[in-house]
Amino acid sequence: MKNSAISEGPKDAAPHGPAGGISLGPLPTQIGFLLRLAQLAVFHDFIRSFSAVDIRPAQHSVLTLIQYNPGIRQAELSAVLGIKRANVVPLLDGLEKRKLVRRIRAESDRRSYTLHLTDKGLELMKILTRLREEHETRLRDLIGEEACGTLLELLPKLQKMSSDPVGDDLAEGE
């Protein structure tokens, strides 16, 4: 219980590195804890590579969904990506301001909007696709092709841990 029992590890020890004599207790055997650290590290690489075009991961997901589903509605986007409606509005405002996305009033329901990429948005998607592929190549080089395949198979299964992930938010805490 005395201070002398505590290792004076490096102050900048990364969570993944040897924790400089500091015990992580049961944390490294907790999948939730490891998922969060892995996600932060992978997003960090993603964010760094996308920062050249000032795009965050949630913005990338939104743009991708609009690209693959031109005319998608705001509510659908919010539900499918698990982004709260309160967060999806400013996110779309930002993309519209940058002239990457256009909101068009739905003909069938004048209260709702459909979403479309502009030509500028489509051009940006080409760059984002290239950056994403480079990011994925780095990831594959790091852990190997087989491990990537295993993760692509296992990670979706974990999503069943919650029937309501929309309570949390894909756009927060990137």
Residue 130 as a binder of a copy of itself (CB under 8 A): the answer is: no
Q: According to CB under 8 A, which residues from 75 to 114 bind a copy of itself?
A: 75-76, 79-82, 106-108, 114
User: Is 55 an interacting residue with respect to a copy of itself (CB under 8 A)?
Assistant: no
Q: Per CB under 8 A, does 137 bind a copy of itself?
A: no
Residue 42 makes contact with a copy of itself by CB under 8 A: yes
Distance CA(78)–CA(115), nearest Å, equals: 12
Total binding residues toward a copy of itself, as defined by CB under 8 A: 98
- Beta bridge partners of residue 72, listed in sequence order: 115
Contact between 57 and a copy of itself (CB under 8 A)? yes
Among 51, 120, 136, 137, binds a copy of itself (CB under 8 A): 136
CA–CA separation, 84 vs 38, rounded Å?
23
- Residues in the chain, total: 174
Measure the CA–CA gap between 39 and 101, rounded to whole angstroms: 27
Strand order in the sheet with 101-105: 72-73, 113-117, 101-105
Binding of residue 126 to a copy of itself (CB under 8 A): no
CB of 97 to a copy of itself, least distance (A): 23
By CB under 8 A, name the one of 96, 116, 118, 122 that touches a copy of itself: 116
Cβ 51 vs Cβ 101: under 8 Å: no
Which of residues 23, 120, 123, 127 is near a copy of itself by CB under 8 A? 23
H-helix segments, the chain: 31-50, 57-68, 74-81, 85-97, 119-143, 145-158
- Shortest gap between Cβ of 160 and a copy of itself (angstroms)? 6
Given 93, 123, 134, 172, the residue binding a copy of itself (CB under 8 A): 172
